Amino acid sequence: MTLIKSQTLQPMSRHRFKLEIIFLMTILFGLSAPAQGSTQKWTAQWEPTKPVNGSPVLFRVTAPLQLTELNGNFLGQEFSFRPNTACHCWYGFAGVSLATKPGTYTLRVEGKGAGEKDAAMSYTVAVGAAHYPTSALKVAPGFVEPPKETLARIEEDQAEKKKVFSTTAPETLWSGRFEPPAEAEVSGVFGSARVFNGVKKSQHTGLDFRVTTGTPIVAANSGTVILARPLYFEGNCVMIDHGQGLLTMYLHLSEFKVKEGDTVKKGQLLGLSGGTGRATAPHLHFAVRWRGEYLDPRTLLELHPPGS
Ligand SMILES: [Zn+2]
């Protein structure tokens, strides 16, 4: 929806963010009727109300029974819901991959009751098409067609990332809102087609913040540091596991302030910004990965988990 499309290249100060949030709270929450007839007490809401390919999605569900557990399935991914007393609801995190075609998809929820029979419900979720921009970039030729002698290094990195990407806690480690990792303007949005030195290479899978070298970079939410090391393209890179397949990544750092295995809290200093790896200038590339798919960090920062 317009929320995502219209906000390119705008400042991301926390203050500004809060003002936007108050406004958005009033328009964001959609309410869907159950896709199959049932009692009135099942409800499901989601943010954003009109997800697009690349959207993280926060589902809130209320159920007619006292449940001890609620699980969801959306776009072929299983995820678990957490109960919340503030909203008297269950909430769960899922995502729509960049490759997902516009259309309607089913959210299936299944609860286990305490001494009662199990319950299930389905909802229809409309997924729209995102309109991501195209941007042309110039970088040192070695990063477009990496020189032969770096290929072994790049392969090593790939193997390491593959291992790290499969590391995730079974439980949810994050809570409340996700906070911007830096107080800075956004200089590059998620999803834009990247044309490196005239050659279309990829889609930009993160959100860039315009920061000078040495700017403090903080954890967007709580979790475990699963990677903190230099990589060829990413430069000095920190990855945090937030559990259940949700990771955040902080690239091109000049300095690390955490190490692999550390438990971090939301807002904790991870490192200092820089321009290491494939970067034309110092900036922070902030990425969100869920179950192997990159999702739009901006949308993640706009979600309102209950109680936050
Ligand atoms: Zn970037």
Tell me which H or E stretch contains 153.
helix 151-165
User: 5 CA to middle of ligand 1, Å?
Assistant: 18
132's tokens: 């991501």
Confidence label for 8 from pLDDT (cuts 50, 70 and 90):
very low
**pLDDT, tens digit, 9 for 90 and up, residues 68-112:** 899 999 999 999 999 998 888 999 999 999 999 999 999 999 998
Q: Are 73 and 108 within 8 A, CB to CB?
A: yes
- Does residue 35 have a pLDDT over 60? no
Confidence label for 66 from pLDDT (cuts 50, 70 and 90):
confident
User: 276 CA to middle of ligand 1, Å?
Assistant: 12
Cβ neighbours, 10 Å, residue 278? 21
* Residue among 156, 289, 164, 298 nearest 233 (CA): 156
Judging by beta carbons within 10 Å of its beta carbon (0-12, 13-18, 19+), is residue 300 exposed, middle or buried? buried
**pLDDT, tens digit, 9 for 90 and up, residues 166-187:** 889 999 999 999 999 999 999 9
Averaged pLDDT of the chain: 85
Least confident of 108-122, 156-170, 280-294: 108-122
Residues with CB under 5 A from ligand 1 (ion): 206, 208, 285
User: 207 CA to middle of ligand 1, Å?
Assistant: 6
Q: Are 272 and 254 within 8 A, CB to CB?
A: yes
Average pLDDT, integer, range 40-65: 92
Please state whether the predicted TM-score (pTM) of the whole model is above 0.75.
yes
User: 188 CA to middle of ligand 1, Å?
Assistant: 6
- Does residue 190 have a pLDDT over 90? yes
Cβ neighbours, 10 Å, residue 61? 22
User: 142 CA to middle of ligand 1, Å?
Assistant: 18
Residue 217's contacts (CB-CB under 8 Å, 6 or more residues apart) are: 181, 182, 211, 238, 250, 253, 269, 270, 271, 272, 273, 284
Amino acid letter, 157: D
User: 18 CA to middle of ligand 1, Å?
Assistant: 24
User: 117 CA to middle of ligand 1, Å?
Assistant: 48
User: 308 CA to middle of ligand 1, Å?
Assistant: 28
Q: For the CA atoms of the chain, what is the radius of gyration?
A: 20
- Does residue 6 have a pLDDT over 50? no
User: 286 CA to middle of ligand 1, Å?
Assistant: 7
Ordered DSSP codes for 54-65: T-EEEEEEE-SS
* Residue among 179, 305, 192, 173 nearest 250 (CA): 179
User: 181 CA to middle of ligand 1, Å?
Assistant: 14
Average pLDDT, integer, range 288-294: 96
| Parallel/antiparallel/unpaired status of strands 207-209 and 284-290 | antiparallel
Interatomic CA distance for residues 210 and 247, integer angstroms? 22
Interatomic CA distance for residues 56 and 85, integer angstroms? 23
- Does residue 150 have a pLDDT over 50? yes
User: 284 CA to middle of ligand 1, Å?
Assistant: 7
User: 194 CA to middle of ligand 1, Å?
Assistant: 10
Phi then psi for residue 155, to 5 deg, are: -65, -40
User: 303 CA to middle of ligand 1, Å?
Assistant: 21
